[in-house]
Amino acid sequence: MDPAQRTAFEAYLARVQAQRAELREAAAAVDDALARPLGTALWRERVHTALVELEHDFRDHVELTEGEGGLFETVLAEDTRLAPAVARQREEHDELRGRIAASVAALEAVAPPFDLPAFREDLTTLVGDLVRHRQRVSDLIYEAFSVDLGGQG
């Protein structure tokens, strides 16, 4: 990259890092909401609110990484051997987005058609899967550009 491209890329990475922090906070909010006493109206409300925020932040994450001129496009321009890792991240985006949306819809149902303890366990697993997804994106960025986004980003 020439100096101008490098500067633009560094600014882009700063946006990625900030958005990653938002996604981390949203996942933590879901986890915190899940820790409340199960099945109360407050539990359902807080989990729903946290999931809606997570859904929004995850949509932003997908747009930032998959959009035109985004992270995945830049990674592939830098190193085509990373194409399988990029493809895996895109597949994870689709899968995670679907799981988040289904969870939001389940909580919005008038009479939730699910077993609450199992639902909470599924959401706990989802939060863990999001953490692992963020880790893999961080690994991908490091492998492509030798840039460490850090634990908070």
In this predicted model, what pLDDT tens digit does every residue of 4-62 receive, in sequence order? 888 888 888 899 999 999 999 999 999 999 999 997 889 999 999 999 999 999 999 99
98 in any annotated domain: yes
Alpha-carbon distance values, 48 to 57, 115, 118, 137 (Å): 14, 16, 16, 26
Measure the CA angle with vertex 86, ends 84 and 90; round to 5°.
115
Residue 33 lies in a domain: yes
Domain assignment present for 106: yes
Position 149 scores a pLDDT of 67
Cα separation, 112 vs 90, whole angstroms: 30
The pTM (predicted TM-score) of the whole model is: 0.90
What's the token pair of residue 128?
């863990």
Dist CA 133 CA 139 (whole Å): 10
Q: Based on C-alpha coordinates, what's the Rg of the chain? A: 17
Range of the domain at 78: 3-145
Q: How many domains does the chain have?
A: 1
Whether residue 153 lies inside any domain: the answer is: no
Residue 91 placed within a domain: yes
Q: Is 17 within the bounds of a domain?
A: yes
CATH number of the domain that 131 lies in?
1.20.120
